[in-house]
Structure 1
């Protein structure tokens, strides 16, 4: 079984990865999107790397990580289930077992819509390849908020789901011609015991399911019961969350949103996760 799974391959995730490897732990890093550092024009306050742009800095970080055998894998974690002595992660439909998890997801721009949390797992899903077969012969709305959304909508249509695709036009590219398209956003999902309808552009669309395909998932939706504080993951000085064996580091834990903080917290999270594993050896 994997010892440490890391969600996010920005400065915090990579720092956690190299420090976990240095302590002899097995590690996998999953990341579904680019991070904010890549878009920074200049970074002048990180010790030792003066007057570089964000992309150059990330290339340095990735080169260091790869040299130590830490290679990020492309994959979006749809949900993380605490199982007592380990965690079960759903990463693009692959079920990954890990003894500990470090969340380094950065700042999540995902905002829940009314009904989303209440109907999660009862018609609301974040992964088409994971849950698509449950809706074969049924109807579903796909809300595309990422470049891969059209591909996932096509997959659902190919396995027999009646799909309506909702998104901004930027994410429509590659959508199968036979799939109905609505330009806009989903404002609400409703139903008593399961999804029954989705509100789009003031119109209520009957549906058996809603696939919300974002680049990232809000932490509270990713791990049930995770405690937040002012929208950020609440941690102590050991980067521990309220869930045993689950750590968090970087921008997802709150301000200041700085590279130095992210790298330092990634190191601490890896050290503490390693110590947790050593303390739970049978």
Structure 2
């Protein structure tokens, strides 16, 4: 069977992917989106499908459930003509044009299942978890990996909170949470902070923060519905105890979903896709990146959507230039 060809293929179905698709579809480019089938461990729609209330996405003054927001984005993409396939792309060849794509299960075939003149990578990133006992039960019921996303929700207000991590991200998350929680405990597994001196100093001096050095979390405890305590262990003495906590926030890093493009496009030291500043352009002409797969700083739904817009416009211009070149020949 001959490969299915499209002018633009979007790989990923979070805010970045759907925003790019909306722009492309409205430009009559009839994009195809491969939304993934539990790709990177998430259902179609990405990380937002695992969240509850989203209160900082513009246009929803009362807030919106993460899954509902992604359903609305998907419907908008389809409304303008995006073809959405619940498939995962597991192999990509950009060595010649059109680019070649293989769907999951077809990697061993010589012929690709799909081809495209341009590809937008919007596969996202996932927060690193610790796999603690009780973590799965209380994930998004007291446990989160994004203070900016979830810190202001009612269950955390004026309650004791815990942050795990010793770097700048952990320090920033903890400082942010002091606006809402009654007190913030920071668990650092070593005897020093990895955070910069400035951030570390602010953290240690803050009256609502207690930093626990040589300390690891060992279990997440709750009442069956919400988290209420975090069991901890002193790594130096072996002493075990419990902290009252209505919120536990992981700040131990993220993993960008870039396995598909390793060896295809330039990645940085943390495996995020490198893009030309202010654009979605990668070092491969016709290959664009948007959302958390290339953004290790903000990682918000709204910034992902914004970079998806950029990728859609960049891809549209790229296709227009290709067509102009073809007409001149």
Question: What band does the TM-score fall into relative to the shorter chain?
Answer: 0.5 to 0.7
Closer, same or farther: CA 223–79 of 1 in aligned 2, 3 Å? farther
CA distance in 1, matches of 2:15, 2:24: 14
Question: Could you report, residue by residue, the CA deviation over 1:201-255 in whole angstroms, capped at 9, with x for unpaired residues?
Answer: xxxxxxxxxxxxxxx9942543523111232111122201111110010111122
Closer, same or farther: CA 217–78 of 1 in aligned 2, 3 Å? farther
RMSD value, Cα: 2.1
Alignment check: 8 A CA contact 1:226 1:241 kept = yes
Select the structure of larger CA radius of gyration: 2
Question: Could you report, residue by residue, the CA deviation over 1:31-74 in whole angstroms, capped at 9, with x for unpaired residues?
Answer: 22321101112111111123111012112112212221224211
Alignment check: 8 A CA contact 1:80 1:223 kept = no
Aligned partner of 2:123 in structure 1 is 105
Ranges of 4+ aligned residues in structure 1 off by more than 4 Å: none
Aligned partner of 2:235 in structure 1 is none
Give the secondary structure class of the aligned counterpart of 1:19.
Answer: helix
Aligned partner of 2:137 in structure 1 is none
Unmatched 5+ stretches in structure 1: 111-215
2:274 matches 1:234: yes
CA distance in 2, matches of 1:97, 1:279: 18
Closer, same or farther: CA 71–21 of 1 in aligned 2, 3 Å? same
Aligned partner of 1:266 in structure 2 is 308
How is 1:116-265 mapped onto 2 (pairs within 5 angstroms)?
218-229=257-268, 230-236=270-276, 237-254=278-295, 255-265=297-307
TM-score normalised over the length of structure 1: 0.59
Alignment check: 8 A CA contact 2:119 2:287 kept = yes
Query: Number of residue pairs matched?
Result: 177
Select which of 75, 95, 116 maps to 2:113: 95
Aligned partner of 1:201 in structure 2 is none
2:77 matches 1:77: no
